[in-house]
Amino acid sequence: MYRKELPSGYIIQQTEARHAKALDALQRLVFPTLAEVERMAERHYLHHLKVFPEGQMVLLDADEVVGMTSSIRYHLSLEDHTFLGVSDNLWFNTHEPQGDWLYGMDMGVHPRYRGQGLARQLYRARQEICRSLGLKGQVIVGMPIGYVDYAREMSLDEYYEHLIEGSIYDPTVSTQMRMGAEPQRLIHNYLDDPNCGNAGVLMILSAEKQV
């Protein structure tokens, strides 16, 4: 069972059933503009532990859940797909026990704890899970949440091109790229969130990279 104490004193560990209710509440804080049907709830988190417990982790400040990440094992798919489709409507029954990639379903840190590099620590923990399971790396679909500020000026495709060339900074995707994630393509209509134009940026983070 994964458990790691950070220099700050926070703990990253495998999710337990007792964390599910707090994770439900945290989803609403982390993803306030996400469609309700795409927001994970207590019942989903409990089921994830039955499907793939190794891929579910929480960030704890003492006993308080202040961050989380959920994932499944999956193949690398560069084709169009949706968040609800790949997650089996949030239940994770799409998990492939022999899948060679760790597909990240969500990643979030409580707003009060942001700015401390804790998301990077969660990605680092996922890298350690990849290596322990012999996986090729992580599949990340970043939400280009900065698009909302440019929606009247350019299309999503234009915004994506600017992201790739580095002329626009996106709070989520640009940070993931700086961490070593390599963009593969833009997926339109990946989810229902107006801040990111309903799109996701498909990226891969090879297991050998140091986050």
Q: What percent of the chain clears pLDDT 90, i.e. is strictly above it?
A: 99
Q: Which long-range contacts (CB under 8 A, 24 or more apart) does 23-27 make?
A: 23/58, 23/65, 23/68, 26/65, 26/66, 26/67, 26/68, 26/108, 26/110, 27/106, 27/108
pTM: 0.95
Among candidates 142, 192, 145, which has minimal Cα distance to 37?
Answer: 192
pLDDT value of position 52: 98
At 129-183, the pLDDT tens digits run 999 999 999 999 999 999 999 999 999 999 999 999 999 999 999 999 999 999 9
At 8-51, the pLDDT tens digits run 999 999 999 999 999 999 999 999 999 999 999 999 999 999 99
Q: Give rounded-to-5 percent helix, strand, coil for the chain.
A: 35, 25, 40
pLDDT value of position 193: 94
pLDDT value of position 122: 98
Query: Confidence band (pLDDT; 50, 70, 90) for 77?
Result: confident
**Residues contacting residue 32 through CB under 8 Å, at least 6 positions apart:** none
pLDDT value of position 104: 98
In degrees, to the nearest 5, what angle opens at C-alpha 150 toward C-alphas 148 and 154? 125
Mean pLDDT of 185-194: 96
Mean pLDDT of the chain: 97
Mean pLDDT of 93-101: 98
